Structure 1
Amino acid sequence: MNWKQLPLGPLQTNCYVLYDNDKNAVIIDPAGDADKLLTFLQENELHPVAILLTHAHFDHIGALDTAREAYNIPVYLHEQESDWLEDPQKNGSGRMMPEAAFTTKPADHLLQSEGRLQFGGFEFQWLHTPGHSPGSVSYWHKETNTVFSGDVLFSGGVGRTDLYGGDMDTLLASIHEQLLDLPENTVVACGHGPFTDIETEMNSNPFINGFGA
């Protein structure tokens, strides 16, 4: 089992493609630059089976409809952002780039109660980690010991909370109550920038160390 980080779109948001030896794949946050994403999938002869969204901000969904239609695969999103894909104000494109505001088709499946997601040989534990947005989700893949955290936790930082539905106290609580409970050697595959690990962030991330002080 392997995963590839693909910085895509105007904000170089990290899209991740997790794939197995049989060339089946799961796409996490198809951020943009649809041609680059499809080229990677085609050149590696991968067969996506699902798209997982960590949340519905515009910079994480730019290639969503192109990818889902190219492979006829379902999209998963937290129920608290069920209408964000169709609302430029909520997904942020209307605020951040009003001249190019956009929408996508709604998700096929809405996540409700925390638990497992399984697609063939892929199994994820999904964690509700709100704060950056109300429906932010982190996907822990035990086999590769990786948590795909979206914009919840970064290397040396945390997600912004000044966008629609954001809240810093909620975000920090999510990190402490959900992500820091994972094994300390868990790799954190962030929505922007380099990947990190839980132990490093516990020891050196100033936002985490200052929480509750």
Structure 2
Amino acid sequence: MGKLAAAIVTVTPFQQNCTILWDDETREGVVIDPGGEVERIKAALEETGVTAKTIWLTHGHIDHAGGAEALKQALGATIIGPHEADRELLESIEQQSEMFGVPGGFQNAYPDQWLAEGDTVSIGEHVFEVLHCPGHAPGHVVFYNSAHRFAHVGDVLFQGSIGRTDLPGGDHDTLLRSIREKLLPLGDDVSFICGHGPGSTIGRERLNNPFLT
């Protein structure tokens, strides 16, 4: 088993971190949250030499899932996640496109497999635990790999901030509970990639994030 490697492709006007994760020995990988600009994501896969047969979704907002269906078709991949509580969001991506005024070929997404708390997903031998972390979106999930002390937290937690809760299905208190009960207990040494902007560590956010102090 090789090490985990990551590349971020920042896509769409939402500046969303589409993440490619892979095993550096086998080059087997996954695409997390292809929000759009699918040709750029495909180019990044070719550049890194990564084969991705699965797409993982953290939640159903347009900026994270708007390109999932097109990428699925392009790669012959399967879409895994998020939690089924985001079904309505995923089936209204085209509607979200009109609402936000962002044309660009966004498509509704139809996962091949929903995820729930306690499930696991894998990249080869790298196993990730699934944590259901609602608040930003009802069906938001986080992917956590204990061996590498690493998580992909989507839009739950950011460097110095937290996910917005003013969108449909958002709830501030629920989001803070998800962070306190699911993310902070992972440990201060856990580093994370988030859905927008630079990553951080749980410890840094516990100390410095104004929403948590």
Q: TM-score, normalised by structure 1?
A: 0.91
Across the two proteins, how many residue pairs are aligned to each other? 208
Q: Does 1:87 align with 2:81?
A: no
**In 2, are the aligned partners of 1:55 and 1:137 still within 8 Å (CA)?**
yes
1:152 equivalent among 141, 156, 171? 156
Gaps of 5+ in 1: none
**In 1, are the aligned partners of 2:66 and 2:93 still within 8 Å (CA)?**
no
Shift of 1:92: 3.3
Q: Distance in 2 between matches of 1:105 and 1:68?
A: 9
Instruction: For residues 42-78 of structure 1, give each alpha carbon's deviation from its aligned partner in whole angstroms, at most 9, with x where no partner exists.
Output: 1222110211101010011232122211221111121
**In 1, are the aligned partners of 2:67 and 2:107 still within 8 Å (CA)?**
no
1:6-17 aligned at under 5 Å gives the runs 6-17=9-20
- 135-144 or 166-175: which moved more? 135-144
**In 2, are the aligned partners of 1:88 and 1:101 still within 8 Å (CA)?**
no
Shift of 1:98: 6.7
Q: Report what 1:58 is aligned to.
A: 62
Q: Report what 1:97 is aligned to.
A: 101
Q: Alpha carbons of 1:154 and 1:132: their partners in 2 closer, same or farther (altered >3 Å)?
A: same
Q: Report what 1:206 is aligned to.
A: 210
Q: Report what 1:18 is aligned to.
A: 21
1:46 equivalent among 38, 45, 50? 50
Instruction: For residues 88-114 of structure 1, give each alpha carbon's deviation from its aligned partner in whole angstroms, at most 9, with x where no partner exists.
Output: 48x733422276684324111011342
Q: Distance in 2 between matches of 1:161 and 1:185?
A: 27
Q: Report what 1:189 is aligned to.
A: 193
- Partner SS state of residue 52, structure 2: strand
Residue type at the aligned position of 2:92: D
1:160-199 aligned at under 5 Å gives the runs 160-199=164-203
Q: Alpha carbons of 1:144 and 1:4: their partners in 2 closer, same or farther (altered >3 Å)?
A: farther
Q: Does 1:130 align with 2:134?
A: yes
**In 2, are the aligned partners of 1:30 and 1:63 still within 8 Å (CA)?**
yes
Q: Alpha carbons of 1:99 and 1:24: their partners in 2 closer, same or farther (altered >3 Å)?
A: closer
Gaps of 5+ in 2: none
- Partner SS state of residue 166, structure 2: coil
Q: Distance in 2 between matches of 1:99 and 1:25?
A: 29
Instruction: For residues 158-209 of structure 1, give each alpha carbon's deviation from its aligned partner in whole angstroms, at most 9, with x where no partner exists.
Output: 0000000000000000000000011211112110000000000000101011
Residue type at the aligned position of 1:83: E
Q: Report what 2:7 is aligned to.
A: 4
Q: Distance in 1 between matches of 2:5 and 2:58?
A: 19
2:143 equivalent among 125, 131, 139? 139
The sequence identity of aligned pairs, in percent, is 36
- Partner SS state of residue 22, structure 1: coil
Q: Distance in 1 between matches of 2:43 and 2:79?
A: 20
Q: Alpha carbons of 1:27 and 1:101: their partners in 2 closer, same or farther (altered >3 Å)?
A: closer
Q: Report what 1:118 is aligned to.
A: 122
2:33 equivalent among 20, 29, 33? 29
Shift of 1:83: 3.3
**In 2, are the aligned partners of 1:34 and 1:62 still within 8 Å (CA)?**
no
Q: Distance in 2 between matches of 1:146 and 1:70?
A: 29
Q: Report what 1:72 is aligned to.
A: 76
